[in-house]
């Protein structure tokens, strides 16, 4: 049984960070293939393809993060932890939004000005009266978003299914945008869906174990999965784990 593995890379990254802790070491140097092999529970199955979909960190925004990611991607390929690296992109744009504070529950609440606030003239902040007659402070902020990874996961998954290159699929993501491609894939081959974070599985990704050929399953990852499946250091005698990883 040939299994294809499809990873929406920023999903497990933020999932790991939430589970293991942003400031902790020991989880970032992940061996993707080894992790997938530990999860693949179909009898007689063998992983024949690992597709890793991500986007490059912007070197201008964060040179050190760019360098760390570059080393990691090279290590993944050198160790044959992945077979295909598919890159999306980051896009950035300005957005005007009200200033906000975080509530105790983590929700964003619009900041209510008192009228005594002041700021340097060069800052992109302005006062405006809304439709209710209340003042709000508006700021121009830079928004950034990763584009393409979920589309790339869906494209590779469905292409492999319909070319009959695989007999089953393992998808590591909790992205609800993958609901339709996963449902289509489940109609053709057994699919394992792995939620890599601490949040509940997106409802749109749920399905029936008996759909199509059956044999579908859903799983959640824990810190143990990440810590136990790390790349060697160094990889191929050359690529070393970045400090703090």
Residues 126, 80 within the same domain: no
Residues 110 and 10 in one domain: no
Q: For the segment 213-233, what is each residue's pLDDT rounded down to a tens digit?
A: 999 999 999 999 999 999 999
Question: From the CB of residue 78, how many other CB atoms can be counted at a distance below 10 Å?
Answer: 15
**Mean pLDDT throughout 119-140?**
86
Measured on CA atoms in the order 144, 146, 29, 60, is the torsion positive or negative? negative
Q: Which residues pair with 217 in a beta bridge?
A: 192
Q: Which domain holds residue 133?
A: 94-143
Per-residue pLDDT tens over the stretch 169-203: 999 999 999 999 999 999 999 999 999 998 999 99
Going by DSSP bridges, is the β-strand pair 191-195/217-220 parallel, antiparallel, or unpaired? Answer: parallel
pLDDT value at residue 148: 76
131: in domain: yes
Q: Residue 133: inside a domain, yes or no?
A: yes
Dihedral over alpha carbons 204, 205, 206, 212 (to 10 degrees): 120
Cα–Cα nearest to 149, from 13, 46, 20: 13
Residue-level pLDDT at 67? 96
Asked, for residue 111, whether it belongs to a domain, the answer is yes
Q: What is the CATH number of the domain that holds 87?
A: 3.40.50.1010
* Residue whose structure tokens are 């939430």: 18
Question: How many structural domains comprise the chain?
Answer: 2
Residues 129 and 21 in one domain: no
- Residues 88 and 110 placed together within one structural domain of the fold: no
């Amino acid at each position: 049984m040939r299994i294809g593995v499809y990873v929406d890379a920023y999903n497990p990254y933020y999932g790991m960070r939430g589970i293991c802790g942003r400031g902790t070491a020991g989880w970032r140097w992940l061996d993707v293939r080894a992790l997938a092999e530990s999860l693949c529970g179909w009898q007689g199955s063998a992983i024949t393809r690992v597709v890793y979909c991500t986007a490059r960190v912007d070197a201008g925004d964060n040179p050190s993060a760019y360098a760390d990611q570059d080393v990691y991607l090279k290590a993944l390929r050198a160790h044959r932890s992945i077979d295909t690296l598919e890159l999306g992109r980051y896009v950035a744009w300005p957005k005007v939004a009200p200033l906000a504070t975080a509530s105790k529950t983590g929700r964003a609440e619009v900041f209510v000005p008192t009228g005594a606030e002041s700021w340097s003239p060069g800052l992109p902040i302005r006062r405006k009266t809304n439709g209710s007659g209340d003042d709000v402070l508006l700021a121009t902020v830079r928004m950034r978003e990763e584009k393409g990874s979920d589309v790339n996961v869906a494209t590779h998954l469905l292409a492999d299914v319909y070319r009959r290159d695989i007999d089953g699929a393992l998808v590591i993501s909790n992205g609800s945008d993958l609901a339709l491609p996963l449902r289509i894939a489940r109609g053709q081959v057994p699919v394992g869906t792995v939620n890599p974070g601490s949040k509940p599985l997106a409802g749109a990704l749920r399905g029936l174990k008996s759909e199509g050929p059956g044999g579908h399953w859903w799983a959640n990852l824990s810190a143990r999965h990440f810590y136990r499946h790390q790349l060697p250091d160094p990889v191929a005698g050359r690529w070393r784990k970045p400090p703090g990883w």
